[in-house]
Amino acid sequence: MHARIHITLKNGVLDPQGEAVHHALGSLGFEGLSNVRQGKVIDMDIAGDDPDAARASVEAMCQQLLANTVIESYQIELTE
């Protein structure tokens, strides 16, 4: 199975990377932007065919390593 995990800063947490991107885009003439936020995406292939087991495993990965759950939230998408 293929898993795609989005890890993004929670709302209200300052995002200096997003601010920098917003500012740089403004310098290039892109206007009308707001709420520019940058996060991480992690893709992986997981052996096995059981979506429930795969989701539980990815949840554990996020909790233990991939996300800092104090300031980040994560979303998991599984595809065949």
Applying CB under 8 A, the residues found at the interface with a second copy are 6, 8, 18, 21-22, 24-25, 28, 30-48, 57, 60-61, 64-66
| Least distance CB 70 / a second copy (angstroms) | 19
Nearer to a second copy, 4 or 70 (CB): 4
Measure the CA–CA gap between 25 and 71, rounded to whole angstroms.
Answer: 25
Write out the two tokens for 50: 């059981």
Q: Quick one: 30 or 71, whose CB is closer to a second copy?
A: 30
Least distance CB 14 / a second copy (angstroms): 15
Please report, in angstroms and rounded to a whole number, the separation of the first and last CA atoms in the chain: 5
Nearest approach in angstroms of CB 66 to a second copy is 7
Angle value at C-alpha 44, between 37 and 20, nearest 5 degrees: 20
Q: What is the CA radius of gyration of the chain?
A: 16
